[in-house]
Structure 1
Amino acid sequence: MNIQGSIALVTGANRGLGLAYAKALLDAGARKVYAGARDPSTVTLPGVIPVKLDVTNPQDIAAAAALCTDVNLVINNAGITGASPLLDATEGDSTLRRLLETNLHGIHAMAVAFAPVLKANGGGALVNMLSALSWVSLDTTSAYSVSKAAAWALTNSLRNELRAQGTQVLAVHAGYIDTDMVSHVDAPKSSPADIASRTLEALASGAQEVLADETSRQVKAGFAATPSLYLGVA
């Protein structure tokens, strides 16, 4: 995927990693960047086009697909988190459903809406922002890990289905990123700008997956351990 001259749509682009993606795209020579946000008035980055886009709202997605007909790069960055345990009798089910609605079904709905757009514009690329927590679950990330594991499987399946139309599908895995979403977490965090830069480098190289930080590389390497890291054995 050649970023120079590309036309991109980034979801959740008003802050955090989404904002970093929008900035990186402009810096890399993207011709146009649509910045999706639930409230487009919160998009303040000069040079982008704000788009009303809640990935859990079918009407928003349909309107965005009708507006952004020139897109050849879609970055599914929008995501949410939640800390309720899966077995919490009060909030466990509602938290899991809420996270799946955004982190899984939101990506799927965007792919359904924009696959024809990408095909019409030569194939292009679809980027799904996943996580090292796609592969492991911590005490405080149960529902989030479920949603990201499902999104990883979805990404692998979308890659198979979009291959025939020449669409590059890139899965991005990273550990904690220094954004508002995990401001309460006391752990090493990567810079959003670094993650965005490594993602664009992976796109340019034609990659299908990028382990964008040391945490994601360590976690995936842990698959080969005995017992495997994802088993969570103390």
Structure 2
Amino acid sequence: MTTLAGQIVLVTGANGGLGTEFVRQALDRGATKVYAAARRPRDWDDARIVPLVLDVADEASVARAAADAPDVTIVVNNAGQLRPGGLVDGPFEDIRAQIETNLVGPLLVTRAFAPALRRSHGAVVNVASVLSWLAGSGAYGVSKAGLWSATDSTRMELAGEGVQVVGAYLGYTDTPMTDGVDAPKNTPEQVVTAVFDGVEQGEDEVLADELTKAVRASLGAPIAERAAALAG
């Protein structure tokens, strides 16, 4: 259980719709400083927010960020990318880019900031997706399924050192990534509220909406049934 009050938070992908909301709500809940990390950071006009250059898929960039922000106590691995295309016929560079950003990136960031998190008995939040458990989204789903597994294994590795590891799972959310998607969407505020509530309540997983809860509950069903439901 990790209260946000008094914490120093790193948010990756801070320029996006969800990232901006993580920054805002962390401060609203009492964080004293937020590192707003992005490949091209923007100005925030708030002394409590520190822009930080960070490309999560670049090991050298991650190492520099960890050196520049040694006081971090909570990491929010939010940076991600989605590219169209299938696993069989889609451009392989797009497959690789999504896996490096969505899966390898959070691992690099967590590893780099682990010493600070161990010292502070802090927390890691990995922002995954309902597509961690649904086929059909190409490399994006593969990367998020991998992040689900990595989150659970990371939790086991850090549990004895007092570091909370939270997996956050959500359906379509109204951000630039889902522009053009004609489906019901969460708001960033709803998602971040659910995630930070889960962090402060000591949860291991946050299922941010009813769709995600239903899909998570279906994992025990035979794969043929799940595939048929998805197709329907």
Q: TM-score, normalised by structure 1?
A: 0.93
Partners of 1:179 and 1:192 within 8 A in 2? yes
Residues 53-64 of structure 1 mapped to structure 2, 5 A cutoff: 53-64=54-65
- Does the alignment pair 1:191 with 2:187? yes
Change (3 A) 1:229 1:95: farther
Aligned pair partner of 2:162 in 139, 153, 166: 166
Match of 1:109 in 2: 108
CA distance in 1, matches of 2:106, 2:226: 24
Deviation at 1:142, TM superposition (A): 1.6
CA distance in 1, matches of 2:221, 2:165: 28
Partners of 1:13 and 1:43 within 8 A in 2? no
CA distance in 1, matches of 2:130, 2:225: 12
- Does the alignment pair 1:152 with 2:148? yes
Change (3 A) 1:147 1:230: farther
Change (3 A) 1:161 1:228: farther
Match of 2:79 in 1: 78
CA distance in 2, matches of 1:218, 1:48: 37
Deviates more, 1:48-57 or 1:216-225: 216-225
Aligned residues: 228
Q: Which amino acid aligns with 1:54?
A: D
Change (3 A) 1:25 1:229: farther
Residues 17-56 of structure 1 mapped to structure 2, 5 A cutoff: 17-40=18-41, 42-44=42-44, 46=46, 47-56=48-57
Q: Note the aligned Cα RMSD (angstroms).
A: 1.5
Q: Which amino acid aligns with 2:80?
A: G
Q: Which amino acid aligns with 2:102?
A: N
Matched position secondary structure for 2:72: coil
Deviation at 1:44, TM superposition (A): 2.7
Partners of 1:35 and 1:43 within 8 A in 2? no
Match of 2:128 in 1: 130
Match of 1:5 in 2: 6
Q: Deviations over 1:80-99 (max 9, x none)?
A: 001101111x51x2221111
Matched position secondary structure for 2:156: helix
Q: Which amino acid aligns with 1:95?
A: D
Unaligned runs of 5+ in 2: none
CA distance in 1, matches of 2:153, 2:23: 26
Q: Which amino acid aligns with 1:201?
A: D
Matched position secondary structure for 1:170: strand
CA distance in 2, matches of 1:202, 1:73: 14
CA distance in 2, matches of 1:99, 1:149: 12
Change (3 A) 1:36 1:190: same
Match of 1:119 in 2: 118
Partners of 1:20 and 1:196 within 8 A in 2? yes
Change (3 A) 1:67 1:220: same
Deviation at 1:45, TM superposition (A): 5.7
Unaligned runs of 5+ in 1: none
Matched position secondary structure for 2:4: coil
CA distance in 1, matches of 2:86, 2:51: 36
CA distance in 1, matches of 2:139, 2:128: 14
Aligned pair partner of 2:213 in 207, 217, 221: 217
Q: Which amino acid aligns with 1:71?
A: V
Partners of 1:178 and 1:190 within 8 A in 2? yes
Matched position secondary structure for 2:35: strand
